[in-house]
Chain A
């Protein structure tokens, strides 16, 4: 069997304070794999480590963060063993990323054409005229009307939805194998979000992309993803096929999250709230990090952190209740 496109093994990223006295384990013991054409959703609350995980994959971490262990095998090669120069050739070419705020990811001083053409010129050393004509095609592909005139305009002349589509055009400009989208639709309106999600799915089909969707919204996972990884306090507490997890969540946190979303189909039902607050990662509770909020806590949870128990094919959960009794 050929190895998958992306294979993450036991990845840990820690933030260390200047004197080394405080360590925040933002990402811990994270393992998953992803193949071409598949979509993985990473869900979690703020501070659960989902963005740090995405930045670790691209090695774009802030100076205080260190990848302390693990392997990131992409197309068979360990990204953690690459030099900075080699990494630069991978970012934007083989792995692309879409960030939450399109206004912050576009440069206000350059035209749209310059910015869409830039990765083509940098990575493929294309001539300006060539790159610009590719840029016009890309704008057409992300359904920007009148791309011939839009290439000469600036980001402030576009609406939020158009800006985010332009960021999408930049991301696919070099035909990457993997696209990481970090909360790509959070700043968009509902109907614009629907347009954008449809666009991403079409792009994925035509380019046979692997996609990682980072979101706090389980609705996006239900709509877009094949697999889902639920993160809590820096760990993936449950990982598996979307349908299986929505039908039969194995981890109490996943179960509680699913019960806490209001449903259009049954609006009058009372929501099941998760009591308490997410833990402080600098001083996580002993044992399973979820145990202070867990409705199914057993004494063992307070002492020992559960390992990942395999539920079924590609479905694992870190919970003592799933382990052999």
Chain B
């Protein structure tokens, strides 16, 4: 087991969903939800995935959580290919990778007390006596900033932000190494969002956690992440250091995305890039560069040839504008 290498590494990860139609449910078409993406998540760091709906970011999260099997490519966790793991190895992997979802109203069972919710992963995975369970629940609640007595209450007795804290406590119960955060603050009120984002950052510093952070709020992703990847129609179009990309985006899609992000001050002047049209269907993605029908800087080459991720100013971008070779 390597200690200095990446915690998780995905190579050429691909997920196709067959679209079934007709009498015999024959697969007629393939939705290319995630199409050959590669990324690494380092220990103790946050990897942010940004993109609009349908770009494949949630499918990527599901692949990492083993809720979907990849069609192609592989995921390595601490150097181990997940495909080669046996039952025990997979169980260990599932304990090491936990998730917090968007809607804390849907992700907590309304008929279970908070204690039972937090304890469930412990009970199914470890043999602990009553006293130890009680101590662990207390520690987890303290970690996420909830009072001890919360353990005896039901989810409906909490506000959205507090419920999200319960979901975080549950995710931390098994001392995971990686937590997948799929839009963890989108359902929360503005004044509560900062509380949860701060809590997540504190927990990362305290426990050395890695995060896979998925959100459509660019500022939140840039705030939370060390590295980010911008996805468009199943492909990564730009990836690299979060601050570098947020300050000087290179890919025309990233530029449009950041220019569309809302200002935090009325005097904040941004170049307004309004993209025409909408995201095309991933059933029949455009030829060449998938962004070319909406790209303000489209060239003839873009519709014919698919750009590869190339190193541009300290990050990777997939755009012919920066490919000087030909």
Q: List the interface of chain A (C-beta within 8 A of B).
A: 45-46, 159, 161-162, 189-195, 198, 216-220, 222-223, 242-243, 246, 256-258, 260-265, 267-268, 270-275, 277-278
Contact B197 A262 (CB under 8 A): yes
A9 to B258, CA, bound (A): 40
7 additional contacts (CB under 8 A) given A216-B189, A268-B243: A45-B191, A159-B278, A220-B262, A243-B266, A246-B266, A261-B190, A274-B192
Contact B257 A191 (CB under 8 A): yes
Contact A257 B191 (CB under 8 A): yes
Kindly list chain B residues whose C-beta atoms are within 8 Å of the C-beta of A275.
195
Contact A191 B191 (CB under 8 A): no
Given contacts A191-B52, A270-B198, A271-B194, contact A264 B218 (CB under 8 A): yes
Given contacts A246-B266, A273-B195, contact A267 B223 (CB under 8 A): yes
Distance (whole angstroms) from the CB of B108 to the closest CB of chain A: 17
Candidates A194, A217, A243, A272; contact of B274 at CB < 8 Å: A194
Contact A191 B260 (CB under 8 A): yes
B132 at the interface (CB under 8 A from A): no
- Sort chain B's interface into a size bin: 35 or more
B86 at the interface (CB under 8 A from A): no
Kindly list chain A residues whose C-beta atoms are within 8 Å of the C-beta of B224.
262
Distance (whole angstroms) from the CB of B66 to the closest CB of chain A: 28
Given contacts A190-B257, A273-B195, contact A267 B242 (CB under 8 A): yes
B275 at the interface (CB under 8 A from A): yes
A270 to B204, CA, bound (A): 14
Contact A191 B264 (CB under 8 A): no
A216 to B264, CA, bound (A): 13
Kindly list chain B residues whose C-beta atoms are within 8 Å of the C-beta of A274.
191-192, 194-195
Contact A260 B194 (CB under 8 A): yes
A261 to B275, CA, bound (A): 25
A161 to B274, CA, bound (A): 14
Contact A277 B52 (CB under 8 A): no
Candidates B197, B258, B275; contact of A271 at CB < 8 Å: B197
Kindly list chain A residues whose C-beta atoms are within 8 Å of the C-beta of B110.
none
Distance (whole angstroms) from the CB of B200 to the closest CB of chain A: 11
In chain B, what residue has the closest Cβ to A219? B262
Contact A257 B197 (CB under 8 A): no
Contact B193 A222 (CB under 8 A): no
B207 at the interface (CB under 8 A from A): no
Contact B272 A261 (CB under 8 A): no
Kindly list chain A residues whose C-beta atoms are within 8 Å of the C-beta of B219.
261-264, 267
B267 at the interface (CB under 8 A from A): yes
Candidates B218, B258, B275; contact of A195 at CB < 8 Å: B275
Distance (whole angstroms) from the CB of A192 to the closest CB of chain B: 6
Distance (whole angstroms) from the CB of B288 to the closest CB of chain A: 20
Kindly list chain A residues whose C-beta atoms are within 8 Å of the C-beta of B194.
260-262, 271-274
Distance (whole angstroms) from the CB of A218 to the closest CB of chain B: 7
Kindly list chain A residues whose C-beta atoms are within 8 Å of the C-beta of B261.
190, 219, 264
Kindly list chain B residues whose C-beta atoms are within 8 Å of the C-beta of A162.
278
Given contacts A195-B274, A218-B264, contact A189 B189 (CB under 8 A): no
Contact A46 B265 (CB under 8 A): no
Contact A267 B243 (CB under 8 A): yes
B53 at the interface (CB under 8 A from A): yes
B246 at the interface (CB under 8 A from A): yes
Contact B216 A277 (CB under 8 A): no
Distance (whole angstroms) from the CB of A221 to the closest CB of chain B: 8
A272 to B223, CA, bound (A): 13
B268 at the interface (CB under 8 A from A): yes
Distance (whole angstroms) from the CB of A291 to the closest CB of chain B: 15
In chain A, what residue has the closest Cβ to B253? A191
Candidates B218, B266, B272, B279; contact of A222 at CB < 8 Å: B266
Kindly list chain A residues whose C-beta atoms are within 8 Å of the C-beta of B257.
190-191
> Which of B195, B264, B279 is the most central at the interface, judged by chain A CB atoms within 10 Å of its CB?
B264
A3 to B42, CA, bound (A): 62
A220 to B265, CA, bound (A): 10
Kindly list chain B residues whose C-beta atoms are within 8 Å of the C-beta of A262.
194, 197, 217, 219-220, 222-224
B159 at the interface (CB under 8 A from A): yes
A257 to B53, CA, bound (A): 27
B298 at the interface (CB under 8 A from A): no
19 CB < 8 A contacts A-B: A189-B216, A190-B216, A191-B274, A191-B275, A194-B275, A195-B275, A222-B268, A223-B263, A261-B190, A263-B223, A264-B261, A265-B247, A267-B219, A267-B222, A267-B223, A271-B197, A273-B194, A273-B195, A274-B194
